[in-house]
Amino acid sequence: MTLSVAEAHELVVQTLVRCRTAHSNAVSVADALIAAERAGQVGHGLRRVPSYAGQALSGKVDGQAQASADQHKPGALMVDAGHGFAYPALALAMDWLPEAAKTQGIAVAGITRSHHAGVAGWFVERLAADGLVALMFANTPAAMAPWGGARPLFGTNPIAFGALIENAAPMVVDLSLSTVARGKIMAAAQKGEAIPGDWATDADGHPTTDPALALKGMMQPMGGAKGAALALMVEVLAAALVGANTGSEASDFFGAEGAPPGTGQLLLAIDPGAMGGSAGITRLAGLFQDNGDARLPGQRRQQIAARVDAEGIELDADLAKQIDALGR
C-alpha cells in the first residue's frame, strides 16, 4: 500500500501510543521516522516501528520517559534521555543549540542514557538551515571488531556534517562507519533478500550473504583500519565524553529483551560568523559546478523528499500486518 506522509506519521503515533508510549514522545519518534523515509533511509523509517514498539511494550525503552536538560557551561548542554527514545532528548538539544551557538560562537550538546538516533543527517541539516555548521556523532551497540580483533567492540557509529550553502540546499554528509548502515541489513532480513558478501560476517567471522546471520555476526568497517579508528573516535565523543554506555556495554537496538541500550550522542554547532563567515563554504561549493556528474552531498536527499511528499510512502503488506498487530 502507499500512505501519504501525514498518514504514515499518524500510523507511527497511533502504534506507539498503543504500545505504552506517551503521545508527545510518539510524535517525536514519528517525526524522525518520517524524516528518514523522506531522506531515502528506509532502514531508519517505518521498518523500525516493530522493534521500537516491541521495546516500549517490554520496558527496554521507557516510552513515558521525560528527557531533561542541564546546562553545565554557557556553551555546553547535557541531556538525559532517561532510557527513553532518543528523539525527545535530541529535540531538547536542537531547541537549545542555535541560539547558544550564535551567542557563544560554538555550542555542544551531549545526550546520555539514550537509544537509536536514526538519520543523523536530519539533525545537522536542520542546524545548517539555521545558518550553522554542524557535526553529529552517535555510538551504537557493538557490531564491529577493532582492526585485527575477533569480537565486536564498536558500533557502526554514524557521523554527520551539515553546512548552509547560499542559494542552495544544505551540504549534508551522513554516513555510518561500517560498509553500510546496519538498518539496511535489517531491512533485507525483513524482506527475505540476500545482501552483498562484503557487508558483514557471520558470528564465526565468515563473510555471509544471509542478513539473519549478518545480524548475529559483525559488520565490516568502512575503509578497513581507517573506519575502525574513526569508530573508536566516536566512542570517545558520543559515549565516554557524555557518560553513556560504550558499544560493548550497550544492548542491541532490535530485540525487545534485556536492559536499555543507554547509548549516547554528541551535537556540535558552530556559528560561521564567529570565524571567517560562510563565504568560504559557498566558494567551495562553487567548485562542484560544471564538474561532470559531481554533486554536493545532500542534494539527492532533497530530490527524494520531494518525490515522497508527492507520491507517498510505500508500506509492504507483511510490515503493515506486523505494525497492525503491535499492542493488540
Residues 182-192 have a mean pLDDT of: 84
* Cα 304 to the center of its chain, rounded Å: 18
Specify the pTM.
0.91
pLDDT category of residue 163 using cuts at 50, 70 and 90: very high
How confident is the model at residue 138, as a pLDDT? Answer: 98
Q: Which of 4-13, 27-36, 176-185 has the lowest mean pLDDT?
A: 176-185
Residues 184-199 have a mean pLDDT of: 87
Q: 114-137: per-residue pLDDT in tens?
A: 999 999 999 999 999 999 999 999
- Amino acid in the structure at residue 63: G
How confident is the model at residue 45, as a pLDDT? Answer: 95
Question: Of 229, 235, 233, which Cα lies nearest the Cα of 247?
Answer: 235
Kind of pairing between the strands at 76-80 and 68-73: antiparallel
DSSP string, 144-177: BPPTT-SS--B----EEEEE--TTSPPEEEEE-S
Residues 35-47 have a mean pLDDT of: 94
Measured CA to CA, the distance from residue 175 to residue 119 in angstroms comes to: 9
How confident is the model at residue 152, as a pLDDT? Answer: 86
Q: What is the mean pLDDT of the chain?
A: 92
Residue 196's CB: how many other CB atoms inside 10 A? 11
Share of the chain above pLDDT 90, in %: 71
How confident is the model at residue 130, as a pLDDT? Answer: 94
Q: Which of 81-90, 156-165, 233-242 has the lowest mean pLDDT?
A: 156-165
Residues 227-254 have a mean pLDDT of: 96
Grid coordinates of 235: 566512542
How confident is the model at residue 220, as a pLDDT? Answer: 84
- Amino acid in the structure at residue 199: W
pLDDT category of residue 62 using cuts at 50, 70 and 90: very high
Q: 79-114: per-residue pLDDT in tens?
A: 999 999 999 999 999 999 999 999 999 999 999 999
Dmax over Cα atoms in the chain, in whole Å? 56
Residues 250-275 have a mean pLDDT of: 95
Measured CA to CA, the distance from residue 285 to residue 297 in angstroms comes to: 10
How confident is the model at residue 295, as a pLDDT? Answer: 79
How confident is the model at residue 281, as a pLDDT? Answer: 79
Which residues are bridge partners to 205 per DSSP?
none
Residue 219 near residue 227 (C-beta atoms within 8 A): no
Grid coordinates of 301: 536527499
How confident is the model at residue 269, as a pLDDT? Answer: 98
Grid coordinates of 276: 571567517
- Per the model's pLDDT, the better-predicted residue between 186 and 22 turns out to be 22
pLDDT category of residue 230 using cuts at 50, 70 and 90: very high
- Say which DSSP state 220 is in: P
Residue 313's CB: how many other CB atoms inside 10 A? 22
Give every strand in the sheet of 171-175, ordered side by side.
Answer: 68-73, 76-80, 106-114, 263-270, 133-138, 159-163, 171-175
How confident is the model at residue 131, as a pLDDT? Answer: 92
Question: Of 197, 162, 206, 193, which Cα lies nearest the Cα of 179?
Answer: 197
Q: 213-229: per-residue pLDDT in tens?
A: 998 888 888 888 899 99
**At residue 199, what are phi and psi to the nearest 5 degrees?**
-80, -40
Measured CA to CA, the distance from residue 220 to residue 147 in angstroms comes to: 10
Measured CA to CA, the distance from residue 133 to residue 115 in angstroms comes to: 24
Measured CA to CA, the distance from residue 68 to residue 138 in angstroms comes to: 19
pLDDT category of residue 162 using cuts at 50, 70 and 90: very high
Long-range own/partner contacts, residues 213-216 (CB < 8 A, 24 or more apart): 214/185, 215/182, 215/185, 215/186, 215/189, 215/254
